A and B are shown apart, each in its own frame.
Chain A
Amino acid sequence: MTGSVLALLGVALAVVLPGIGSAFGVGLVGQSAAGVVTEDPDKFGQTLLLQALPGTQGIYGLLTGFIIMLQIGVIGGEMVPLTPEQGQAILMAALPIAIVGLLSAIYQGQAAAAGVGLIAKRPEELGKAIIYAVMVETYAVLALLASIMLIFGLQM
């Protein structure tokens, strides 16, 4: 297997896994929100805000994939030939956001869904509901950071 294939596998994982996680998370919050809005249509705006939160992991994944693609020259120029070692290194660099993105999106979805329950009862506490869900985001951001630093740190 050539290095390029491994690097592209890294791109795929970075985009796909957080994407799945985000879709699941957003879907979950959406269900909760639909339940709340069934009984109380005024809560649409607030619940939408919470629903968007687990979507960020997908964006982080896409961002990571994008950077890798830029680095290996898939976009904007010649594809750099990579040795298998280089390819493996890029694949490894993609893993933090791929794995953490997947799981954190699911957990964030659950936290946000709980937040939807919270604002159903106390609409004035929207801020706190968001903070609880955003706490999960920290770890996705850290993973994103790790992935990006790894990618830029690698010498092509």
Chain B
Amino acid sequence: MAVSKNKYAYAVGRVRVLETRLFDYGRLDRMLEAATAEESLKVLAESSYGNHFAEATGVHDFEIILSKEMAYVIAEFEKMSPQPEMVALMALNQDFHNLKVLFKCKYLGRQGEEPLLPPGMIPLKRLRSGVEEENFRDLPPVIRRAAENILMEFALSPDPQLIELHLDRALFEMKLAVAREGGSVFLVELFQREIDLLNINTFLRVKKMGRSKEFLQLALLPGGLLEEALFLNLLGEGLEGLIDRLANSPYGEIAAEGIRGWMEEGSAIRLEKLADDYITGYLRQRKSPPFGLEPLIGYLWGKQIEIKNIRLILVGKINGLPVEAIRERLRHVYL
């Protein structure tokens, strides 16, 4: 059911102020140019992240700070949005991450110390009891189907990648389904673009791994704007073909530049950065309406990118990576 856009007036008002507090290039630069990781962290402490420093004891705890901040932002947005489930979609990947971890722990017989993320839309308890009892009736049908497939296939061939691939597909299937149900054409189109960009990257990776067409079929996410057949047919051919085929798609430019980078340097740094930047740009163009979901989703994406950048800088600083190597990986900011 669609909700009148005017209901978003309050939330958008708040987002407009919050947007101004996202890290700009200047602040990222200050973190990057700091002499030590501790100094970088100080820049972080001066911002909204400062609220979560009590839980961290040292530089190496920065992941706690980042995940607390994201969880806080999502919770605030769910409270102020007229359609909280649309906001929660931006954290749905965390539920699927948890589901993956729970499945693997179950099969490994491992207990305690699970690398879980804060829950997004689905309470962790429900996921846990579902996996433990192999009964997924309480979970959304998309998850139930994927989980039952995993149970069946893992019994035949215990490949952990199967768990991942099935759940990745289910994640995007569910994202699209919830967005459609909520009547948000904007979100559907956004997720389709995300799917396409991930599929381009997946195609390159699968091709490099030398896997079969059947495997690629399973690894590609359905529901994007680009047909899966396009990738399947190109698996045996050179990458120039892919560049040509994508030339007329919305991703023509980034595909050309990213795939060239992949061919020349054998790394996906450029492509992955360009893909993130593409989504950032896409959302930035759509954030101006004073009412509606767009500015909220845009901000949440912007925040996720900001956290990605901060993590890059801090990991780089802690491990003494060269500033240039970090800088070339930094994503555009959403401002």
Do A's and B's CB atoms come within 8 Å in the complex? yes
Residues in chain A within 8 A of chain B (CB atoms): 28-29, 31-40, 43, 110, 113-114, 116-118, 120-121
Give the shortest distance, in Å, between B82 (CB) and chain A (any CB): 11
Task: Please determine whether B20 and A117 come into contact, CB atoms closer than 8 angstroms.
Answer: no
Q: Which residues of B contact A121 (CB under 8 A)?
A: 16-17, 19-20
B12 within 8 A of A: yes
Task: Please determine whether A31 and B10 come into contact, CB atoms closer than 8 angstroms.
Answer: yes
Task: Please determine whether B10 and A35 come into contact, CB atoms closer than 8 angstroms.
Answer: yes
Known: A34-B10, A35-B11. A110 touches B17 (CB 8 A): no
Q: Which residues of A contact B80 (CB under 8 A)?
A: 35
Task: Please determine whether A117 and B12 come into contact, CB atoms closer than 8 angstroms.
Answer: yes
- Chain B interface mostly: helix
Task: Please determine whether B6 and A117 come into contact, CB atoms closer than 8 angstroms.
Answer: no
Q: Which of B9, B18, B20 contacts A31 (CB 8 A)?
A: B9
Task: Please determine whether B16 and A36 come into contact, CB atoms closer than 8 angstroms.
Answer: yes
Task: Show 21 A/B contacts (Cβ-Cβ < 8 Å), sorted by A.
Answer: A28-B6, A28-B9, A31-B6, A32-B9, A32-B13, A34-B13, A35-B9, A35-B13, A35-B14, A36-B13, A36-B14, A36-B17, A39-B17, A39-B18, A113-B12, A113-B13, A116-B16, A116-B290, A117-B12, A117-B16, A120-B13
Give the shortest distance, in Å, between A9 (CB) and chain B (any CB): 29
Chain B's interface size range is: 10 to 19
Task: Please determine whether A38 and B9 come into contact, CB atoms closer than 8 angstroms.
Answer: no
A36 to B9, CA, bound (A): 10
- Chain A interface mostly: helix
Give the shortest distance, in Å, between A33 (CB) and chain B (any CB): 6
B154 within 8 A of A: no
Instruction: Count A-B pairs with CB separation below 8 Å.
Output: 63
Task: Please determine whether A32 and B12 come into contact, CB atoms closer than 8 angstroms.
Answer: yes
Q: Which residues of A contact B20 (CB under 8 A)?
A: 120-121
A108 to B15, CA, bound (A): 21
Q: Which residues of A contact B17 (CB under 8 A)?
A: 35-36, 38-40, 43, 120-121
Besides A35-B9, A35-B10, A35-B14, 14 more A-B contacts (Cβ < 8 Å) are A28-B6, A29-B9, A35-B15, A35-B80, A38-B14, A39-B17, A110-B290, A113-B9, A113-B290, A116-B290, A117-B13, A117-B290, A120-B17, A121-B16
Q: Which interface residue of B10, B13, B15, B290 has the most chain A CB atoms within 10 A? A: B13
Q: Which of B14, B18, B19, B291 contacts A113 (CB 8 A)?
A: B291
Q: Which residues of A contact B6 (CB under 8 A)?
A: 28, 31
Known: A110-B290, A113-B290, A114-B290. A32 touches B10 (CB 8 A): yes
Q: Which residue of A lies closest to B335 (CB)?
A: A121
Q: Which residues of A contact B18 (CB under 8 A)?
A: 39
A118 to B80, CA, bound (A): 20
Task: Please determine whether B19 and A35 come into contact, CB atoms closer than 8 angstroms.
Answer: no
